[in-house]
Structure 1
Amino acid sequence: MRVLVVTSWFPSADWPGGAPFAVAHAKAIARHHDVRIAHLRLGGGGLPQEEHWAGLPVTRIPISPRRPGAYRVLRRMTAEADVVHSMAFSTIGVLAPLAPVIRRRWVHSEHWSGVLDPVSVSPTWQRLAVARHLLRLPKAVSAVSTPFARVVRRFTGHGVSVVPCVVDASFTASPQPATPPLRLVAVGGLVPGKRPVLAVETLASLVGDGVDARLTWVGDGPLRSAVHSRAAELGLADRVDLVGSVAPDKVADHVRAANVFFLPTAGETFLAAGAEAIACGRPVVLPRTGGFTDYVTPSNGVLADADDPASLAAAVRDAASRFAGADPEALRATVIPRFGASAVADDFDLFYRRLES
């Protein structure tokens, strides 16, 4: 089928690492279908531009009330598609005027944490989250995890399919490095929702209990200085390494250099970084709530009983002990091929069948 993926979140030259989940989903769909991308540049200027990204044809369309001509390009592209597949919640509002003509072939995949918990996003995005009732417009909706689907279902008025994020085959397993020290790694933005300061305080609890531990954080954000300050206050400056943003193909190197993936996140719709860490052969330690409960089990990780430093530290000690010397391929097998591109491509084929009902 001719599938038009319409999304306001997609990487570009000025945002090369953005929205990897959208790229991975589009590439999975392209295994069985003819896929084109309509990338909506909200509030952007200029003319629509054609290019390729990750092997996919992309039309960058500036969407602005002052540029109705660009909107006509979007109307034409949707008219030529057998399936209009929107991704990212903000995309729904742009497509809403076309609902009468596209609804019978319109599906939507939701990833955004603002739908799950509006308070977790910035005030600007919270204003968008109040429009969650727009999820009723597409004929079929998917979410990236079972817990997230339960929330999304409240706004759709009908069933929600679960199509998970893709774990790329490049995340291959390797044995853990020797200990001590116990090497922890986190992957995510240095933002309030990921709670990096809590990660430092958990490290302090471990060190206070006599564990020779180190923390590497892959990612950047506005809390960098706060994390540095808290680490210094706790005497951990030499135990915390904030490596900043790295190229997507280098993330796995940092994960494989650690013994345990640890992220005290406040909430996630799926947490691809956690599944990717398991695919690298590393156990994960996470709080007990979030979309990752679809794949974190006693065979590949530990869910903390509470989200205070002592409880999180206890979970880290449990994981370090239980998974010391664990077969990395056995850990990887708990998420691959389940979340591989081929499996997700099949999930989307099944999802598209809802258009026939």
Structure 2
Amino acid sequence: MKIVFFVRDLGLGGVERCVALVSEGLIARGCKVSIVMLGGNRNLWAARTGTAEVIDLSGTWQGKKPWTWLAGWRAARQQIKDADILIAATFLMPLYMAYAVSRGLKTRVIGWVHGPLFELDQFATMNPIHRSACQYIYRRLNELVFVSEHARDSLARWLKQPVGDGWQVLPNFVDEKEAKIYPEKPASPTLQLLFVGRIAVEKQPHLWLETLASLNKKGIPAKLTVVGDGPLEDSLKNSAKTMKLDHQISFAGHQSNVGDYLAAANVLLLTSSFEGCPLVVLEAMPLGLVVASTNAGGVYELFGKRRSEFVVETASGEALAELISTQRRPELSIWLKQRAKHYSSGQILQQWINLCLGRKNPKNDL
């Protein structure tokens, strides 16, 4: 079976990571996989895509140069002529090209939806032309795969239609290849909080400072490490100084492997406005790292019926501090390690194989 993924490129984003890991897993199970890059020539996942055929079409077709469109269309169509399945790994460019080049062919086309598009559009206010084009295509694709039920239901709201029969949920999975065994954390009087991600508006970084301030009021000493960078970094540092919290927060910058930081933390702080299926939580689970999160959509599904022990309904530093102060971390740590087995690569990749073979995956009550 030949499967082709259309991507923008293979940078360090969550979508690109998912494409690399799913491709690697499908190849290990006997599939032939090609990854076609349409918007750039970066492949920062070469160590995980070595057995896939990675094809760079970014020099042939460029969206802002109409005179390249026909040549790009022909080159992309050539790549899928003998493919069984074409997967548009995200919306916009990969989605547009997948729809355009598959016209008249028998290739199955599947759209992969990683985030809650209704909330994303509300937050970012998508260009009206792109909004109409994406909605037009999604309404005409018979098969869509989502990383969470929340992402699925969000698309239904965005399209103003019921959930389709060909819409399946395949969550992201724990990457066991990157897992390491860490020694037990030494006891410390200071609570070690960790945030991993972009320092940007959608991550609500003001909540980090509010949480530290609220923990201080409770007499709970805490420090926060921020792994990542982004446009609000300088503003956040200035706010921390103004609130006299700068001695409680440190910035580690962007890190390609965050395992060491996860292993050293007591609580992973997730403060997003919206999420699809956050990879950092799946990295934290096998380590037993307890999570304190806002009600960011797909994240709560990872905790099943115990969501109230990890997720606050009100996005405030006071609510997060109250949750952190009452979490039974030793018990929750053990539960999270067991919970991670529900998201093992073997289990989720078998669902991908079922999808590719046209089998309906059974609904799991997690």
Same fold, TM exceeding 0.5?
Answer: yes
Report how far residue 328 of structure 1 moved. Answer: 4.7
Instruction: Give matches, 1:92-131, under 5 Å.
Output: 92-102=95-105, 105-121=108-124, 123=125, 128-130=130-132, 131=134
Question: SS of the residue aligned with 2:101?
Answer: helix
- Match status 1:206 vs 2:215: yes
Q: Counterparts of 1:140 and 1:5 in 2: how far apart (Å)?
A: 15
Q: Identify the match of residue 340 of structure 1 among 329, 344, 347.
A: 344
Question: What residue number does 2:253 align with?
Answer: 244
Question: What residue number does 1:151 align with?
Answer: 154
Report how far residue 181 of structure 1 moved. Answer: 0.3
Structure 2: state its 5+ residue gaps. 361-366
Question: What residue number does 2:299 align with?
Answer: 292
Report how far residue 296 of structure 1 moved. Answer: 1.8
Question: SS of the residue aligned with 1:100?
Answer: coil
Q: Counterparts of 1:74 and 1:227 in 2: how far apart (Å)?
A: 43
Structure 2 CA distance for partners of 1:331 and 1:293, relative to 1, 3 Å: same
Question: SS of the residue aligned with 1:6?
Answer: strand
How many pairs does the alignment contain? 341
CA contact (8 A) 1:185 1:218 kept: yes
> Could you report, residue by residue, the CA deviation over 1:101-155 in whole angstroms, capped at 9, with x for unpaired residues?
246511121114445431223x566763443332123331010001111122453
Q: Identify the match of residue 35 of structure 1 among 16, 33, 36.
A: 33
Structure 2 CA distance for partners of 1:288 and 1:113, relative to 1, 3 Å: closer
Question: What residue number does 2:54 align with?
Answer: 58
Report how far residue 28 of structure 1 moved. Answer: 2.5
Question: What is the identity, as a one-letter code, of the residue corresponding to 2:216?
Answer: V
Question: What residue number does 1:79 align with?
Answer: 81
> Could you report, residue by residue, the CA deviation over 1:154-186 in whole angstroms, capped at 9, with x for unpaired residues?
537623100111221123564344231000111
CA contact (8 A) 2:117 2:155 kept: no
Structure 2 CA distance for partners of 1:225 and 1:239, relative to 1, 3 Å: same
CA contact (8 A) 1:190 1:223 kept: yes
Question: What is the identity, as a one-letter code, of the residue corresponding to 1:233?
Answer: T
Structure 1: state its 5+ residue gaps. none
Question: What residue number does 2:265 align with?
Answer: 258
Q: Counterparts of 1:224 and 1:291 in 2: how far apart (Å)?
A: 26
Task: Please provide the CA RMSD for this pair.
Answer: 2.8
Name the structure, 1 or 2, with higher relative contact order (CA <8 Å, separation 6+): 1
Question: What residue number does 2:326 align with?
Answer: 318
Q: Counterparts of 2:129 and 2:334 in 1: how far apart (Å)?
A: 44
Question: What residue number does 2:280 align with?
Answer: 273
CA contact (8 A) 2:209 2:240 kept: yes
Report how far residue 197 of structure 1 moved. Answer: 1.8
